[in-house]
Amino acid sequence: MSHSMIFPVVVPLFSAFFIFALGNKVNLLFLLFFSLSSLGSVLFLLQNTLSSGPLKYHIAGWGAPLGIDLYNDGLSMVWMVGTSVIFFLILLYSHSYWKSKEYPQKIKNAFYPLVFALWSGMNALFLSSDIFNLYVTLEVLTLTAVPMVALSNKKAAVLASLRYLIIAVTGSLLYLLGVAFLYVGWGTLDISLLTKLVTPSPLSWGALALMTIGLIAKTALFPFYFWLPPAHSQAPSPVSAILSALVIKGPYYILIRFWNTIFLNIQNPMIDYLLGFLGAIAILWGAFQALRQDRLKLLIAYSTVAQIGYLFLFFPLAINNRNIWEIAIVFALAHAFAKSALFLVAGNILCLYEKDTISQLEGSHPYLGPSFFIFGLAGLSIMGIPFSGGFVGKWNILYTAITTQQIGWILVVILGSLLSYAYILKIIKYSFSQKQWQEKKKNPITFSMNFTALLLASISFIMGFFFLSIIHLISIGSPFGE
């Protein structure tokens, strides 16, 4: 039953409309209903994919080139399930967070429809099978993520969101120009057709360059990272979690997808090495900057800059070894779960004392015990301690770097990991301090806030134990060749 493919897009989209219409009347019951049905639609598709393999769907019966096609294989399925679980848990968290921090009703009314629209956009991005639809979904991501940054209603936040908007839209337009190049060259927008047709020529190289630049600007790879720390740290914490964990992974997914389809025949190892090199700088620079921050959310945001660097190390490693992409996805998902947990812990701390200055955490552990524990658990995956999800990624980077004789990356990974130990332990050390706390307690941290963050952190950790089944799921429809 291939109609199941349309639900992951339609159900969250309609939920967004309904929640917008409900306005002030939205309560936990409504939220649970809408988020569970959105999650359910994805799980329903998962069940169909598991039983009948990769699916292709022509919306309203119109096939390519006139209609819009959806395509679903293991690669899109894994991303969709991962993002949907994270969306679901963050939505639960945000309900308690807004309540505990006594946010104005107006913000809640704006937040929920935006999250559901973003959810729908992410699912559409993973399911799209033509390059123009991907442009549309990228813009859906931008237009829903940017207003969420501005929800903090502070000048710095609105400035950060405007900067984010301009970079993101510039990136999308460069991507669109790449779409034009591919279309004029080969007369189709369908990814699977383009894969067969695209040949090395100035047009395809132009498209490769424009799309890559546009997409890495949106993924915030060094040197296009500068919009990320202000935007991700100024946003309200549940929003930061969504942005850092999920939104930047959308363009990264497109890059992986194109690298294994359209651009497969026109690849040049130089581009892969360049991306890996930028990733290496991002790892060191991001981790070094994270260590220097005195605000917790900025520290976590710079840690994202560093972790994006690891995602791009997979490009040079995958040159003759396309199976490593499966590990890249495990690593990206482990980062998504761990990073959302870290930002939710930052939310807990902001809830408790309205500020997130790191040095003022001295002596706060009697109130923040569970939060510190969650931070540490998620930190294990960020640091890459065995047997967490992050460890699987780093171990395979090291292993492949040795077997393919690209020894240079090993030094980067080791240095980056040492720096990440430093910035995670910089926070954890406050859970052992003996001093009395100087700050006043403001708002309570409820059970559900700790529980959802703990779930996210545990998933990122135990991913190291079941990554083989994730890889098995990715291989449905063999997106990375046989």
Partner 1 sequence: MNPNMLYVMAGIVVLCIGLEGILTSKVWIKKILGLNLLGTGVFLVLIAFGKRSGQECDPIMQSLVLTGIVISVSVTALALALLQKIVSFGSDSKEEKT
Binding site for partner 1 (CB under 8 A): 65-66, 132, 135-136, 139, 142-143, 146-147, 150, 154-156, 158-159, 161-162, 165-166, 169-170, 173, 176-177, 179-180, 183-184, 189
Q: For partner 1, give the closer residue by CB, 186 or 252.
A: 186
445 torsion bin: left (phi>0), alpha (psi -120 to 50), beta (else) = beta
Q: For partner 1, give the closer residue by CB, 132 or 421.
A: 132
| Nearest approach, Cβ of residue 159 and partner 1 (Å) | 6
Residue 186 · residue 194 · CB < 8 Å: yes
Question: Which pair of structure tokens corresponds to residue 403?
Answer: 């077997």
Return the ∠ at Cα 164 (arms to 163 and 170), rounded to 5°. 90
Q: For partner 1, give the closer residue by CB, 58 or 322.
A: 58
Strands 69-72 and 55-58: antiparallel
Q: For partner 1, give the closer residue by CB, 76 or 188.
A: 188
Q: For partner 1, give the closer residue by CB, 233 or 388.
A: 233
Residue 140 has φ and ψ, to the nearest 5°, of -60, -45
| Nearest approach, Cβ of residue 143 and partner 1 (Å) | 6
User: What is the spatial distance between Cα 119 and Cα 129, in angstroms, rounded to a whole number?
Assistant: 18
| Nearest approach, Cβ of residue 314 and partner 1 (Å) | 29
Residue 102 has φ and ψ, to the nearest 5°, of 50, 50
| Nearest approach, Cβ of residue 333 and partner 1 (Å) | 29
Q: For partner 1, give the closer residue by CB, 150 or 246.
A: 150
| Nearest approach, Cβ of residue 153 and partner 1 (Å) | 8
For the chain, what's the residue count? 482
Q: For partner 1, give the closer residue by CB, 66 or 407.
A: 66
Residue 374 · residue 454 · CB < 8 Å: yes
> Under 8 Å CB-to-CB from 316, ≥6 apart: which residues?
269, 272, 273, 275, 276, 406, 409
| Nearest approach, Cβ of residue 148 and partner 1 (Å) | 12
| Nearest approach, Cβ of residue 206 and partner 1 (Å) | 11
Q: How far is CA 351 from CA 354, 437, 441, in A?
A: 6, 16, 9
Beta-ladder partners of 58: 69
Closest to 459 in 3D by CA, of 363, 364, 380: 380
| Nearest approach, Cβ of residue 210 and partner 1 (Å) | 10
Cβ atoms within 10 Å of 79's Cβ, excluding its own: 27
Question: Which pair of structure tokens corresponds to residue 169?
Answer: 């839209």
Q: For partner 1, give the closer residue by CB, 173 or 415.
A: 173
| Nearest approach, Cβ of residue 189 and partner 1 (Å) | 8
Identify the three-state secondary structure at position 69: strand
Q: For partner 1, give the closer residue by CB, 170 or 323.
A: 170
DSSP string, 10-44: HHHHHHHHHHHHHGGG--HHHHHHHHHHHHHHHHH
Residue 84 · residue 9 · CB < 8 Å: no
The residue written with tokens 């040049």 in the block is 268
DSSP 235: S
Q: For partner 1, give the closer residue by CB, 222 or 423.
A: 222
| Nearest approach, Cβ of residue 191 and partner 1 (Å) | 16
Q: For partner 1, give the closer residue by CB, 85 or 141.
A: 141
Residue 412 · residue 281 · CB < 8 Å: no
| Nearest approach, Cβ of residue 284 and partner 1 (Å) | 25
User: What is the spatial distance between Cα 234 and Cα 331, in angstroms, rounded to a whole number?
Assistant: 26
Closest to 46 in 3D by CA, of 76, 12, 89: 76
